[in-house]
């Protein structure tokens, strides 16, 4: 029997080939999930939210408002209802995500200067469509009012170059850096794909290590590696690393090549992806060292992997979380990968600003190897705890 680093690698390749699970979980699943997110979020924004208008006025002015509402890209007036309670019932049935009420005598009151109120309702039970309807309704409500002032001023003889600054003396000019389309794809695809890849790497690393212990093959594994735990781990991880690199670079190619996400420095992303994969493997190693039994280690990896989607601050910012919870977000490679994506790719800042994140990714394998002695002990006396 050959021993050393390369025989350990060959042994691992044989193990990977012997079970469909490896092919499924290291290639088929990650690629499908990546394609799922890219395909699902491809439109960027769920425009044309189904909404309703309740026109109680039936005047030329209220009809103009309805037409304006329909003309925005954000909302689609799919229903014209007769009362507030009809509209609420429609919300409860899930047919619409918001509605706009034009009160009775709206035109008469507006012209008479009685300040009628336009009311609109947005169903935030569904956050994204609710927010989009809010934006669409608010724009129309404000521009309607402004348009009336403008025509009044014009009829009083004011030139139009004076009316515009009158209506809006201060204009906020927003510059959403890197994502001027407000595309959900640009912000959700990377974060969720990194998260999924991290989850799968951690799970599969734990699986490949603890199955040795479950099946009692761990002494053989260690023997092939001349009894050195570090060699055994390196030899086991190398073939996995190559497969994950293919998946990771495929993800980057899809994001920056196919989808044309903004990318400041592709090389920073390529390097970060490799370090990220090593970091996740190291986390898997850590979990297996802490509890060298398949069930508990897998649960630990899954719990951390799934929770990391939440506390890594992709959707809700880490800065707003409770301190004792926010601190966990720094314990995962995924957080640094996400920050590198933000700074090097999306914001196109110089690499200097991402230096700490790269250093953190490099620190993961170093820190996680500290418990190797524990794993070695478990590998020498494999005990399976069901």
Partner 1 sequence: MFPDMKSTDSTYRRPRRGISGWFDAMARVFRREWSNIFSDLGVMLFFIALPLGYPIIYTLIYNPEVITDMPIAVVDLSRTADSRSLVQSISAAPSVEVYANCSNMAEAKDLFGQNKVFAIVEIPADYARRLGRGEQATVPVYMQMSLLLRYRTLLSTLTDLQLKVAGDVTSTRLATMGASALGLDGGLPVESHNNFIGDPTQGFASFVMPGVLILILQQSMVLGICMLAGTSRERRRRNGGIDPTQIQDVPVSAAIWGKTLCYFVLYIPLAIYVVRWLPEMFSLPHVGNPVDYALFLVPFLLGSAMFGQAMSGLCTERESGFLVVVFTSVVFLFLSGLTWPRYAMNGFWTWLGNLVPATWGVEGFIRINANGSTLGETTHPYLMLWILTAAYFIVSWAVARYSATSHTRRVKSDLNVPA
Cα 86–chain centre separation: 36
To partner 1, the closest distance from the beta carbon of 370 in angstroms equals 26
Burial class (CB in 10 A: 0-12, 13-18, 19+), 29: middle
For partner 1, the closer of residues 6 and 36 by Cβ is 36
Count of CB atoms within 10 A of residue 373's CB?
11
For partner 1, the closer of residues 165 and 227 by Cβ is 165
To partner 1, the closest distance from the beta carbon of 116 in angstroms equals 6
Query: Rg of the chain's alpha carbons, rounded to an integer?
Result: 29
To partner 1, the closest distance from the beta carbon of 371 in angstroms equals 21
Reference 90, options 118, 44, 54; nearest CA is 54
For partner 1, the closer of residues 25 and 371 by Cβ is 25
For partner 1, the closer of residues 1 and 171 by Cβ is 171
To partner 1, the closest distance from the beta carbon of 339 in angstroms equals 7
To partner 1, the closest distance from the beta carbon of 67 in angstroms equals 16
For partner 1, the closer of residues 142 and 370 by Cβ is 142
DSSP-derived letter for residue 73 is: S
Q: Are 357 and 339 in contact (CB under 8 A)?
A: yes
Distance of CA 123 to CAs 72, 101, 214, 365, Å? Answer: 18, 14, 51, 46
Q: Are 249 and 273 in contact (CB under 8 A)?
A: yes
For partner 1, the closer of residues 319 and 366 by Cβ is 319
To partner 1, the closest distance from the beta carbon of 72 in angstroms equals 15
Reference 93, options 123, 66, 136, 120; nearest CA is 123
Q: Are 53 and 80 in contact (CB under 8 A)?
A: yes
For partner 1, the closer of residues 143 and 369 by Cβ is 143
Reference 266, options 324, 331, 348; nearest CA is 348
Reference 187, options 201, 197, 176, 198; nearest CA is 176
To partner 1, the closest distance from the beta carbon of 266 in angstroms equals 19
């Amino acid at each position: 029997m050959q021993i050393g680093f390369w025989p350990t690698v060959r042994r691992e390749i044989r193990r990977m080939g012997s079970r469909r699970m490896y092919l499924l979980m290291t290639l088929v699943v990650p690629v499908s999930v990546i394609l799922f997110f890219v395909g699902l979020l491809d439109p960027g924004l769920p425009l044309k939210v189904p909404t309703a208008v309740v026109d109680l006025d039936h005047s030329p002015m209220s009809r103009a408002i309805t037409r304006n509402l329909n003309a925005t890209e954000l909302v689609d007036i799919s229903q014209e209802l007769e009362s507030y309670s009809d509209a609420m019932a429609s919300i409860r049935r899930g047919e619409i995500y918001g509605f706009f009420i034009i009160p009775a005598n709206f035109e008469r009151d507006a012209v008479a200067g009685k300040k009628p109120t336009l009311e609109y309702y947005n169903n935030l039970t569904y956050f994204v469509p609710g927010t989009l309807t809010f934006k669409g309704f608010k724009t129309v409500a404000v521009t309607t009012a402004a348009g009336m002032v403008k025509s009044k001023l014009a009829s009083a003889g004011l030139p139009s170059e004076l009316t515009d600054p009158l209506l809006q003396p201060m204009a906020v000019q927003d510059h959403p850096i890197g994502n001027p389309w407000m595309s959900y794809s640009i912000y959700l695809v990377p974060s969720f794909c990194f998260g999924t890849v991290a989850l799968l790497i951690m799970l599969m690393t734990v699986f490949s290590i603890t199955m040795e212990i479950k099946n009692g093959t761990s002494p053989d594994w260690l023997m092939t590696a001349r009894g050195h735990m570090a060699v055994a781990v390196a030899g086991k991880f190398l073939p996995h690393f190559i497969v994950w690199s293919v998946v990771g670079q495929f993800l980057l190619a899809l994001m920056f090549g196919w989808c044309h996400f903004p990318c400041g420095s592709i090389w920073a992303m390529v390097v970060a992806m490799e370090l990220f994969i090593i970091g996740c493997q190291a986390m898997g190693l850590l979990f297996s060292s802490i509890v060298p039994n398949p069930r508990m280690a897998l649960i630990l990896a899954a719990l951390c992997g799934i929770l990391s989607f939440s506390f890594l601050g992709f959707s809700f910012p880490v800065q707003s979380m409770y301190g004792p919870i926010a601190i966990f977000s720094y314990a995962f490679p995924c957080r640094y990968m996400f920050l590198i994506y933000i700074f090097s790719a999306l914001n196109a800042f110089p690499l200097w600003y991402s230096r700490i994140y790269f250093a953190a990714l490099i620190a993961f394998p170093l820190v996680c190897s500290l418990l190797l002695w524990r794993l070695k002990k478990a590998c020498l006396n494999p005990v399976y705890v069901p």
